[in-house]
Structure 1
Amino acid sequence: MPFLNIKDDVELYYEDVGMGQPVIFIHGVWMSSRFFKKQLPYFRQKYRAISLDLRGHGQSSHVQTGHTVANYARDLKKFIDQLHLKDVMLVGWSMGAFVIWEYLQQFGEDNVKGTVIVDELASDFKWPDFEIGAFDLPALTGMMREIQSDQKGLLQGFIPLMFKKDLSESELEWMLAETTKMPAAIASAILFDQSIIDCRPYLNQITKPTLLCFGKEEKLIPVAAGEHLNRAIPNSKLELFEESCHCPFIEEADRFNQVVDEFIGGLN
């Protein structure tokens, strides 16, 4: 299995298939590269398709430190540099969007061809001037406490909220297995950081083409979040997925793959 050592105690698991334009898929909080299993077989036909497990997630090192979005962005930079990737296309789902925005803020846009943002807000927190945020402080602290007392129970309730339709038992089973690989201490630490990051101040600085993919079902993230990003990011386009909630790349994989493929093709 491919691992990349980006630091003495940190190895990142990744999958790397195909040739050509690098397209990197970045997962959400607690999730893993396995959630993109419907993307790599499609994109490998035209592109160099790469998915990775962020530190602490999936099969990557479960180190106890470094669990902030800003640090995940630094990990991504080391990953891109060590693989000598050029003109990367970054696809970020949920927290993966924050990792992309933080990467652009820290390292600039020079080596980025474009970005695809999947179902995320400019901030997950309900700030006084951001009512569409997902969490207020009581909800966030409640989730953090539940992770510590019943991580699996929390995930059994949370994962179905990511989908418009009911999951089959086998689907829920592999997703639970994947998300419970992460130790509870890490799970609550990164939940807190990714929930209070606020990317609004620098979204208008992004000049690279951005495709915004949002599910129409609003169990977790409102469509208003996509509309807000579409207004805030200058060179952006919003695409809605009628039969999806938080995971259009799973729920409407064929259409998602085609839409993203066409977007990338339009940039080349």
Structure 2
Amino acid sequence: MSYILTDDNTKIFYKEKGEGRPIVFIHGWASSLVSFAIPAFYLSKKFKVITYDLRGHGKSDATEEGLTMKRFAADLEQLLEALDLNDVILVGWSMGAQVLFEYIKNFGCRRLKGTIIIDMAPKLMNDNWWNLGLYRGKFTHEDNLQALKEMTANWETYIEKFTRILVPDLDEKQFKYIMKGTLINNPNVAATMWDVMVNADYCDVLQKITVPTLIMYGEKSTLYSEETAKYLNNQIPNSRVEKFKGCTHLLVMEDTQKFIEEVDKFEKKINK
């Protein structure tokens, strides 16, 4: 197994396969690099594909320190540095997109050739001026306090509820697969990062994304709306939107073939 050791002595697990343009995938909250296993396998036939587990997730060290987006961004920079990666396409799904935003906030776009943002908002907490956040504009500060209370009281019960909301029409086999992948994560890390994630605001970072950007969203996503994707498109200078028809927040898994094709087309376009 492959790890890098960060400057605060934390092991970050990663997988690297293939040759060519480097594509680095950043998974979402309470998940792991397994989220991208199938597209990573096929895309590695044409590109150098890197997947990794965020700090506190999967096979990376679960630490009490460094549970911030800034530290997650620093871990990513140290991974790119250790693997000597430049002209990277950075792909962030859900919370992984926040890591992408934070990375650009702290390190700019000097290592990047393009970015892909998958079904995410720059600000999750909805308030008097913002209604494009989590649960299609219906998640508030009070909702967050309740969510934190529930997930710390019984992690498995909360994740079951969250998963049912995430994909209302899941069959039992899919449900058990998602639950198994989620429950391996440390609940204390998950609760901490949930609070970090929903209180972040990256609206002012979007115009700093100066590389070509593809914004993907699920037509049936219960988390974010089409208007959220359009907002990102309006704020990020060189960007376009791709809708995944009939898909939810889990569009990478639900239409893997389209996802692979869109990543491939995006790389070809920016490589001209």
TM tier, smaller: over 0.9
1:205 to 204, 208, 223: 208
Distance apart, 1:7 and its partner CA? 3.7
Q: Summarize deviations over 1:50-71 as a string: whole Å, max 9, x none.
A: 1111000111111111111121
What does residue 92 of structure 1 align with? 92
Distance of 1:48 and 1:254 partners within structure 2: 18
1:117-128 mapped onto 2 (5 Å cutoff) = 117-128=117-128
Separation of aligned partners in 2, 1:40 and 1:52: 11
Which deviates the most, 112-121 or 10-19? 10-19
Q: CA deviation at 1:9?
A: 3.7
State the TM-score, normalizing by the size of structure 1.
0.96
Whether the 8 Å contact between 2:217 and 2:242 is mirrored in structure 1 is yes
Pair 1:155 & 2:159 matched: yes
Q: Map 1:136-215 onto structure 2 (within 5 A).
A: 136-163=140-167, 166-215=169-218
Q: Distance in 2 between matches of 1:64 and 1:178?
A: 21
Cα 1:13–1:170 shift into 2, 3 Å: farther
- Offset, 1:8: 5.0
- Match of 1:38, SS state, is helix
1:46 Cα deviation (Å)?
Answer: 0.6
**In the alignment, which residue of structure 2 is the partner of 1:73?**
73
Is the Cα–Cα contact under 8 Å of residues 69 and 193 in structure 1 kept in the other structure? yes
Does structure 1 retain, via aligned residues, the 8 Å contact 2:104–2:208?
Answer: no
Q: Which residue pairs with 1:21 in the alignment?
A: 21
Give the CA deviation at 1:167.
2.6
Shift of 1:238: 0.3
Mark the runs of 5 or more structure 2 residues left unpaired by the alignment: none
> In structure 2, how many angstroms separate the alpha carbons of the residues matched to 1:121 and 1:211?
14
- Distance (whole Å) between structure 1 residues aligned to residue 10 and residue 208 of structure 2: 31
Count how many residue pairs are aligned between Structure 1 and Structure 2: 267
Counterpart in 2 of 1:33?
33
Residues 121 and 221 of structure 1 are in contact (CA less than 8 Å); yes or no, is this contact kept in structure 2? yes
Counterpart residue type for residue 89 of structure 1:
I
Counterpart residue identity of residue 149, structure 2 = R
SS in 2 for 1:13: strand
Deviation (angstroms), 1:198:
0.5
Kept in 2, the 8 Å contact 1:124–1:194? The answer is yes
Q: Give the C-alpha shift of residue 178 in structure 1.
A: 2.0
- Cα 1:102/1:233, change in 2 over 3 Å: same
Aligned to 1:245: 248
The sequence identity of aligned pairs, in percent, is 31
User: Greater shift after overlay, 9-18 or 208-217?
Assistant: 9-18
- The normalised TM-score by structure 2 is 0.94
The structural deviation recorded for 1:173 is: 2.1
State the one-letter code of the partner of 1:143: A
Task: Report the counterpart of residue 44 of structure 1 in structure 2.
Answer: 44
What's the CA shift for 1:176?
1.6
The structure-2 alpha-carbon separation of the partners of 1:174 and 1:239, relative to structure 1 and needing over 3 Å to count, comes to same
Aligned to 1:75, what secondary structure does the other structure show?
helix
Could you say what secondary structure the match of 1:132 adopts? coil
Amino acid at match of 1:181: I
Secondary structure of 2:24's counterpart equals strand
- Tell me how far 1:168 sits from its aligned partner: 3.3
Deviation at 1:94?
0.5
Give the CA deviation at 1:108.
1.1
Structure 1's unaligned 5+ residue stretches are none
Aligned with 1:211: secondary structure? strand
3-state SS of paired residue (1:20) = coil
Aligned-partner Cα distance in 2 for 1:223–1:87: 29
CA contact (8 A) 1:119 1:226 kept: yes
Tell me, in whole angstroms, the C-alpha distance in 2 between the residues paired with 1:20 and 1:86: 11
Contact kept in structure 2, 1:9 and 1:61, CA below 8 Å: no
Spell out, residue by residue over 1:12-51, the C-alpha distance to the aligned partner (whole angstroms, 9 max, x if none). 1111111111101101111111011221111101101111
Indicate which of 204, 227, 231 corresponds to 2:230: 227
Matched, 1:129 2:129: yes
Partners of 2:247 and 2:165 lie apart in 1 by 11
